[in-house]
Structure formats: C-alpha cells, structure tokens
Amino acid sequence: MHSAHHLKPRSLFVAAAAALLFAPVVTTSTVTAQAASVTPSTAMLKKSKSYYRKNAKRLGKKYKLAFDAQTALKKNGKATVWVNTKDAKLKSSVKIAMNYWNKKLGKKEFVQGSKKNHTLTFSISKAAATKSDQSDAWWTPSAKRLQVRWSYYQAETKNIGVAMTNQLNDAFYNKYAHTIETKAKANLAAQGLSTSDSTYQDAFNAEAQAVEKSLPAYTTLEKEVSGVNTVAKNGRMYEYASTIAHELGHVMGLNHSPNKSDLMYFESGSSNVYSYKKVKAGLSKYNPVTKTDKNRAKLALKIYTAVH
C-alpha cells in the first residue's frame, strides 16, 4: 500500500519568482468540466446503504476514491488524531486543518486524541528529500501515520518572509517611486546641479535615499519589514493547515482531484499565506475545502460506513 503524498509547487520557494506567487487560480472551462466529473451530486449523497455497498467499486472509480486509505476511520467513519509534536505552531496547523473539514462536513469528523486514544498519529519526519520524493507531507495508511517533512517546515518561515518582504517593498516603490524621483530632482535643481554635472548620478542617488526615508510611509514600511518574521510564522501555520487538511482528505479516502482549485489537487498552494497584509489581518475565515472536496469526502464516508 503506497503512501499518499502532497506536493507544493517548488516555484513558491524561489524569491526571484515572487510575482508568480500571486497568480490567479486557473478556472478554464476544461478545469470546470473536470471538477464536475468528480463531484457527487446531492442525489448521489442520499442513496441507501445497500446502494453504496453494491456500487462501492464503481463509485470509487468514478469519483476517484481510495478505500484502502481509510485505515484510520472508526466504524462510524470518524477519526481521532494524536498530535505527536511539541511545535506549537504545527499543533495549531493540525487543529485548523481538522476544523476546515469539520466545518465543511457539518460534523466532527476529526477529533483530537491522545497517545492512549487515537486512530492516527500526526508527527514530523526527519527524512531528507530525494530527487524522487520532494513531498512536504504524506499519509501512510498501513502505519496510520500522517507526517510532514521537518526540513521543509523549518525553511518555510524564511521563504514566506522573503516573499512578504518583496511584496511590501514592491508595493511601496510602485506607489512612491515617482514622488521620490520628482522630489530628488527638484532638490538637486534647487542646489544648482544639472544632469550634465559629472557628480549628478551619485548626488541623485543620495538625494533619492534621503527623500525616501523622509516619507511617513517609509517609517511604516520599516516597521512592517521588522515584524515580517512573526507574521511569516503565522503564514506558515496557515500554509501547513492546508497541507495537513489535504492529507486528512486522503485519510477519508480521497485520491487526488483533477481540479486545480480543489484542496485535493496533487499539488497546491495559496497566495494568501505569502501576503503580509492578509496574514496580519488574519485568515480565520479562509477555508480551502471546495464543494467538490466536501462532496467527495461525504460520499467516501457514506460508502465506508455502509460497508463497515
């Protein structure tokens, strides 16, 4: 039995490609058609237990379900999670991830357990990434263990921090570059310097820096940049909440979705966690579980309880 792995676009880690972090989600007609093909209808979710038992294999194939991954579910279809880590932010990520599903499903599908009372264990893995395995998290049904790769988790605060800093700087210069340039040129002109002077470029650079630092918005920028690390840690908390929620989808028996906007797409990432302002304001209302994710999970659980 293979582990179910989760991948993030590795381009998210490249600071030089920061502009790509905020690309809109692809919503072409092709993707929409794919989503519809794996989205169980309301009627499908109201079938009898005998129907689910009789048609389990066919439904599993049609809606991309993996029944052999449901090893952590109790007979009632619920799972109890032992969060075996001392990292406070990671503990929060697991809690948020469980709440994502619980809220969308309208029931407590996932509850927090203990070492003595659990059906699956969440923990970190110190295993190094390889060329064939770049996953940041995975679910191993045979061991009933959900893990995240520690090296990636540790590095992600810096990656998010770089992206946030770049975003803040870009926003500042996009707004004030013209003002800085205009004031710097005016000040130099008042001093009698012209572009024909050999020292003009050096003088302009120095004056532009002085004008920049005199702006009230620059003081705000400095304050925001100095606090990026703290905000980045919260960004990582929400990023891993989505990553772990993806793995919890596998726990319920969901294979990867063909729809790029779904949480259960094979690789995922949200620009929200790289936005200083969005993370600073809080992402408490954000939930990555889509309708397709929700309906597939409901069907997978209905089939599970019908069979068991």
pLDDT (tens digit per residue) in 27-84: 333 444 444 489 999 999 999 999 999 999 999 999 999 999 999 999 999 999 999 9
The helix/strand/coil state of 251 is helix
Please report which residue ranges of the chain form alpha helices under DSSP H: 29-37, 49-62, 88-105, 150-190, 200-214, 216-226, 228-251, 276-281, 291-307
Cα–Cα dist 228/169, whole Å: 12
Which range among 5-9, 46-50, 195-199, 268-272 has the greatest average pLDDT? 46-50
pTM of the model: 0.84
Residue-level pLDDT at 32 = 42
CATH assignment, 4-9+35-150+247-268+284-307? 3.40.390
Residue-level pLDDT at 270 = 80
Whether 21 shows a pLDDT value over 50: the answer reads no
Whether 22 shows a pLDDT value over 60: the answer reads no
